[in-house]
Amino acid sequence: MAKTETPGENAQLKDIISHAKEYGFVYPSSEIYDGLQAVYDYGAYGVELKNNLKRLWWETMTRVQDNIVGIDAAIFMHPTTWKASGHVDSFNDPMIDNKDSKKRYRADVLVEEHAAKLEKEGQAEKGKSLTAALARLLEAEDLDGVRDLITNEGIKCPISGTSNWTDVRQFNLMFSTQVGSVAEDSSTIYLRPETAQGIFVNFLNVQKTARMKVPFGIAQIGKAFRNEIVARQFIFRMREFEQMEMQFFIRPGTEMDWYAYWAETRMKWHLALGTPSAKLKKHDHEKLAHYANAAMDIEFEFPFGFKEVEGIHSRTDFDLKSHQEFSRKKQQYFDPEINQNYIPYVIETSIGADRLFLLTLCNAYTEENSEDKSRTYLKFHPAIAPVKAAILPIVKKDGLPEKGKEIMELLKYDFNVIYEDAASIGKRYARQDLIGTPFCIAVDHQTLEDNTVTIRHRDTTEQERVAISELHGRIAEATSFRRIFEKL
């Protein structure tokens, strides 16, 4: 198995990757065997953060919006699903191998990176015309032309330094496996490359059983799998990842209005969660996927540049129509307001939970270096912070641990709180900063006299004295999703 790659060039990303590993957020998968490329595991604080992000998305969709319901479809689906969706024929990336290093690359990425390098070196026109030539060749599915572009430009393999390339071939990104216990009877099925199809094939089940009227949405969170050729940049591009997708079913002809609505609504959500507007931008697609008549990405400025976090796609009636054709089961909706049957059009919002996690970690990672203070901390929004408060008796004697545990009992059923009484108080504060705990509650001798504690605030390090009876309300107010929902 290949070693897990770490990007060489980006110091900030490297710091974030090692912080994530050292403080229990993300580890390479099966690390004791040297890892499995582009597959990762989430640790004690990582799983809490990821669950909070997923819950926030889920509640935004299914509670704040009053016309969206959820489902949880299986990863395995009837293989014809992927024929109908176009994934068997079109879910390909062009790949090329270097014969000397035996390394495999995405041919389009090699050209794009070369074009970006030219632009950086002051040859903007040449870079742009190369990108345009690539787009034309891909559109025409001229793979020999793409190879010629690579060789004519003298693009070299970064490992071997040679231009000894194979032909460019299409590579389908779906993982397949066999279902059935007897070899002769087994058939090929796929691990879903997107969760969306589980929604489409259940469109009528959900519409009828949840008694939904168009316009309405179906939301789902679940695993998706892609055999990515280029697996880099930590959890940005993984082979096993999680998607949070919502398909919004609408009357044909209204798609551009709903497309604009969802683009704006999703952007507002990212801003409400505290992502600075300067780090977000919209990017309209020029080359549309086989199912879309309009598409855009919400991009975030990662340490390796602006990259897609979420896609908003106007998918027309492509999927439902195609499932109707392949299954020979009508996928129509009767609209009582206009007295008509039709196949609804669909606007999709699709965000990777892991990519949102990486965005959140990059945004939160803060190194503070002033004359009197030097520390690293994770500035998570309190509503998504993995641990909401740490209860820290300043000494491990005189009845302070017992008092601390009483406070744990008061809080632990409603919030993820932790108790720690080992090491100096300063060290314990620093450790909570490193995992992004917004509040540290110090229990001291005064606590025994008047039932007050100090709260230390992570971002300012300021401390204030409050009554124990106020703690629950204070933490509830600061960590409530409501504060985010109210900004939408």
What's 135-185 look like in SS3? HHHHHCCCHHHHHHHHHHCCCCCCCCCCCCECCCEEEECCCEEEECCCHHH
Shortest gap between Cβ of 455 and ligand GAP (angstroms)? 36
Q: How far apart are CA 428 and CA 202, in angstroms?
A: 50
Q: How far is the CB of 95 from ligand GAP (least distance, A)?
A: 15
192 scored as a contact of ligand GAP (CB under 6 A): no
Task: At 314, list the tokens.
Answer: 């106007």
Decide if residue 317 touches ligand GAP (CB under 6 A).
no
Q: Which is nearer to ligand GAP, 192 or 456 (CB)?
A: 192
Radius of gyration for the chain, computed over Cα atoms and rounded to the nearest angstrom: 26
Tokens describing residue 370? 């002033």
Contact status, residue 346 vs residue 293, Cβ threshold 8 Å: no
User: Looking at beta carbons only, is 196 or 471 nearer to ligand GAP?
Assistant: 196
Applying CB under 6 A, does 362 fall inside the site for ligand GAP? no
Q: Which 3 state secondary structure label does DSSP give 412?
A: coil
The span of 24-32, 92-100, 146-154, 235-243 binding ligand GAP (CB under 6 A) equals: 235-243
Minimum CB–partner distance for residue 240 and ligand GAP (Å):
8
Q: Establish if 108 lies at the interface with ligand GAP (CB under 6 A).
A: no
What are the DSSP calls for 431-447, one per residue? HHHHHT-SEEEEE-HHH
Q: Which is nearer to ligand GAP, 57 or 429 (CB)?
A: 57
Residue 30: what are its φ and ψ, rounded to 5°? 35, 55
Tell me which stretch binds ligand GAP (CB under 6 A): 105-113, 306-314, 389-397, 439-447. 306-314
- No. of H helices and E strands in the chain? 17, 23
d(CA 96, CA 87): 21
Q: How far apart are CA 411 and CA 419, in angstroms?
A: 11
Please choose, out of 257-265, 349-357, 423-431, 474-482, the segment that lies near ligand GAP by the rule CB under 6 A: 349-357
Task: Tell the smallest beta-carbon distance from residue 244 to ligand GAP (Å).
Answer: 8
Nearer to ligand GAP, 93 or 97 (CB): 93
* Residue 36 engages ligand GAP in binding (rule: CB under 6 A): no
Task: Please name the residues in contact with 52: beta carbons below 8 A apart, sequence gap of 6 or more.
Answer: 383, 384, 385, 386
Smallest distance from ligand GAP to CB 300, Å = 10
> Nearest-CA neighbor of 276 among 298, 297, 301?
301
Which residue lies nearer to ligand GAP by CB, 268 or 465?
268
* Residue whose structure tokens are 């970064």: 158
- Stretch in the footprint of ligand GAP (CB under 6 A) among 257-265, 307-315, 321-329, 473-481: 307-315
| Binding segment (CB under 6 A) for ligand GAP, from list 161-169, 259-267, 273-281, 345-353 | 345-353
The Cα-based distances of 81 to 2, 196, 312, 350, 475 in angstroms read 32, 11, 22, 19, 46
Q: Is 245 in the site for ligand GAP (CB under 6 A)?
A: yes
If the CB atoms of residues 355 and 403 are measured against ligand GAP, the closer one turns out to be: 355
The candidate with the shortest Cα–Cα distance to 197, out of 331, 57, 60, is: 331
Residue 127 found at the interface with ligand GAP (CB under 6 A): no
Q: Which residue of 228, 299, 335, 406 would you call a contact of ligand GAP, by CB under 6 A?
A: 228
Closest among 109, 62, 92 to 210, alpha carbons compared: 62
Region of 68-76, 179-187, 346-354, 404-412 interacting with ligand GAP (CB under 6 A): 346-354
Among 172, 350, 360, 363, binds ligand GAP (CB under 6 A): 350
Contact between 23 and ligand GAP by CB under 6 A: the answer reads no
Which two three-digit tokens encode residue 345? 């059009």
Among 26, 118, 150, 196, binds ligand GAP (CB under 6 A): 196
The gap between the terminal CA atoms of the chain, to the nearest Å, is 45
Q: Is 191 in the site for ligand GAP (CB under 6 A)?
A: no
Binding-site residue total for ligand GAP (CB under 6 A)?
A: 19
323 lies in the binding site for ligand GAP (CB under 6 A): no
Tell which residue, 113, 24, 96, 38, has the closest CA to residue 387. Answer: 24
Provide the minimum distance between the beta carbon of 43 and ligand GAP in the complex, in angstroms, as a whole number. Answer: 18
Per-position x/- string for 252-291, each x denoting binding to ligand GAP as judged by CB under 6 A, each - no binding = ----------------------------------------
Q: Which residue is nearest to ligand GAP (CB)?
A: 352
319 near ligand GAP, rule: CB under 6 A? no
> Which of 243, 479 has the CB closer to ligand GAP?
243
Residues 260-274 as b or e (16 or more Cβ within 10 Å = b): ebbbeebbebbebbb
CA separation for the pair 329, 275 (Å, rounded): 44
**List of residues contacting ligand GAP (CB under 6 A):** 194, 196, 226, 228, 237-238, 241, 243, 245, 308-311, 348, 350-352, 354-355
